[in-house]
Structure 1
Amino acid sequence: MKRLLNRLLPKSWRSTVVTVPVIRLQGIIMAGGGQFRPSLSLASTAGLIEKAFSFDAPAVAISINSPGGSPVQSRLIFKRIRDLATEKNKKVLVFVEDVAASGGYMIAVAGDEIFADPSSIVGSIGVVSASFGFPELMKKIGVERRVHTAGQNKAVLDPFKPEKKEDVERLKALQLEVHETFIDLVKERRGTRLKDDPDLFTGLFWTAKKGLELGLVDALGDMRTVLKTRFGPKTQLKLITAPRGLFGRFGLFGSSKGFSAPDIAAAAASGIIDAAEERALWARFGL
């Protein structure tokens, strides 16, 4: 409507200022998330994405800074962006900050164009599962593990039991299927821009400077410069944020049932574990 009214006005009265909505997606990708360490998921980003696409603007800009995480949540976020881009007939411009790797890169390919700083990290098109094994520890501390199941494969990859070859093979088969889905998605979106490099889908990652050569990104640059060059020097960037404040978002206050001391202790312990896992993901890329 705003564009239509603008066209009906005399040229001297028309507004030349373009406002581009900006979504900032930062953090590991996983369903749910703790009270103290929110994560990226469709549930946590859908409102921001839909609000950005409701703007009367020629494009939506998305800033990504994520080392990856859940392939399912990554693809759901990707799909919501692409569905709205098609529905609203808008271009999507993605800008990589420190890293867009693994699931972070899966979201990035939702962009019609991908921009990054020369030192940004991109790629890691692969699938990984990580855990710990404690069978020897159980013996040392004299604890017996008792697991009873209905279904012989119900307790596969139990971390308190010795690893079985057949369980690992089963896990790897599942990983290959997820990897194939990831590869197909990247090929579909990047098309002929991708170079024929044998390492492209091995899980390796590169700086954006090398990523440009491989076709993983389209250009090197920052959001403000790119948008003002493309849409004019008066272009304004509008950051889309969640409607609630910090405490409301995390649910720390305003709960009708409140928090007991065990609730707070459990949340704190969970937060420490989440923080360690998140730190490990970022550290993989030297961050």
Structure 2
Amino acid sequence: MEDNWKESESVLSDKDDGKAWKLIENLAEGALKEQRRARRWGVFFKLLTFTWLFVTMGIFYSAFRVDVPVMEPSGGHTALVDVSGVIADGNDASADVIVGGLRAAFEDPGTKGVILRINSPGGSPVQAGYIYDEIRRLRGKYPETPLYSVIMDVGASGGYYVAAAADEIYADKASLVGSIGVVSSGFGFVEAIDKLGITRRTYTAGEYKAFNDPFQPMDEEATARWQESLDSIHHQFINAVKVGRGDRLTDDKVIFSGMVWTGENAVELGLVDGLGSAGYVAREIVGNETIVDFSARLSPLEKFARDMGVSFGGVIIKTLGLEGVTFR
């Protein structure tokens, strides 16, 4: 009797163990299925994300791409290149961007004349100089293709430097023209940090390395040397304008004082040849009112990289008064 009871217990125990193992197998199988399902969904969402990124990039590229219409060689056209905003490296009006548009305009066989439409308060003397030199080179290479500058709201300082390389300059009667000068500005916080009890520690190798430090007093000799550099750049600007404008300039020395004039007054001083818009110049001067825009522009990705790379540094530089020389 006792043996039968033990045998029954053994059979029940085996059945319980079998059920337990079956349960474990079912749980493991379910977990594996869930893992495979999660992996498949993960791959799906990754593919969906990459597809969305590529589609978005494609939309941005299509939206910002500059397509130049193909013109019939017999008809021809007037090429247009915009100089808009501050002339500086990394901007829409950088030398690389403007020169790229100018080269494309001159190289196009249908171009009968080029209009450089300027709306700029100035900027880097180096960037403006690059554009000026390239205009003169292209005019020498394509002597039959004239280039005209048209000043819109503002063609001042570096903007006028660029305009002076053209065969002729046109503006509106209310345009602001001129500002043939150079400026380097900043701030001085010497007394402020003294009042706050702040000690400035600057370590340099080179007598004048930190001469423009806004937290230290200006050194008279360093200031004089810096002024010589500004005068040198100013003379370069003046010479460029004289070469570009020639005998059309009046003898009034105030022209190179940094003063700004309206387009109407600029005509009297010889800074501008006449009053008119880009449409007027294309129609009446070039003789072909069909305008094709050859302006090269930064792509959205280039603009994003530029803004991310320079915005923070630019704020710090301006706050500390460490800007470089600009035409203004």
Percent of aligned positions with the same letter in both sequences?
A: 38
Cα separation, 1, equivalents of 2:265 and 2:286: 28
Q: Where is the helix percentage greater, Structure 1 or Structure 2?
A: 2
Are residues 151 and 230 of structure 1, via their aligned partners in 2, closer, same or farther at CA, if it must alter by over 3 Å? closer
How far the C-alpha of 1:94 sits from its partner, in A, is 0.7
Q: What's the counterpart of residue 43 of structure 1?
A: 96
Cα separation, 2, equivalents of 1:126 and 1:251: 32
Q: What's the counterpart of residue 159 of structure 1?
A: 214
**Please, which of 68, 76, 82 is the counterpart of residue 136 of structure 2?**
82
Are residues 252 and 188 of structure 1, via their aligned partners in 2, closer, same or farther at CA, if it must alter by over 3 Å? closer
Are the counterparts in 2 of residues 116 and 221 from structure 1 also a CA contact under 8 Å?
Answer: yes
Are residues 130 and 271 of structure 1, via their aligned partners in 2, closer, same or farther at CA, if it must alter by over 3 Å? closer
Are the counterparts in 1 of residues 97 and 298 from structure 2 also a CA contact under 8 Å?
Answer: no
Q: 2:285 aligned with 1:230, yes or no? A: yes
Instruction: Summarize the alignment of residues 1-287 of structure 1 with structure 2, pairs less than 5 Å apart.
Output: 15=74, 17-31=75-89, 33=90, 38-56=91-109, 57-89=111-143, 90-232=145-287, 235-242=289-296, 245=299, 247-251=300-304, 269-270=312-313
Are the counterparts in 2 of residues 93 and 111 from structure 1 also a CA contact under 8 Å?
Answer: yes
Are residues 192 and 271 of structure 1, via their aligned partners in 2, closer, same or farther at CA, if it must alter by over 3 Å? same
TM-score normalised over the length of structure 2: 0.69
Letter matched to residue 18 of structure 1? G
The one-character-per-residue Cα deviations of 1:161-200 (angstroms, maximum 9, x if unpaired) are 1122222211111111111111111111111100111311
Number of aligned residue pairs: 248
Cα separation, 1, equivalents of 2:86 and 2:80: 19
Q: What's the counterpart of residue 282 of structure 1?
A: none
Cα separation, 1, equivalents of 2:253 and 2:311: 44
Are the counterparts in 2 of residues 110 and 189 from structure 1 also a CA contact under 8 Å?
Answer: yes
How far the C-alpha of 1:244 sits from its partner, in A, is 6.0
Are the counterparts in 1 of residues 79 and 112 from structure 2 also a CA contact under 8 Å?
Answer: no
How far the C-alpha of 1:43 sits from its partner, in A, is 2.3
Letter matched to residue 125 of structure 2? P
Cα separation, 2, equivalents of 1:216 and 1:127: 18
SS at match of 2:122: coil
Are the counterparts in 1 of residues 79 and 294 from structure 2 also a CA contact under 8 Å?
Answer: yes
Segments of 5+ residues of structure 1 without an aligned counterpart are 7-14, 254-262, 277-284
Letter matched to residue 48 of structure 1? G
TM-score normalised over the length of structure 1: 0.78
Are the counterparts in 2 of residues 96 and 116 from structure 1 also a CA contact under 8 Å?
Answer: yes
Q: What's the counterpart of residue 11 of structure 1?
A: none
Cα separation, 2, equivalents of 1:114 and 1:274: 35
Are residues 242 and 188 of structure 1, via their aligned partners in 2, closer, same or farther at CA, if it must alter by over 3 Å? closer
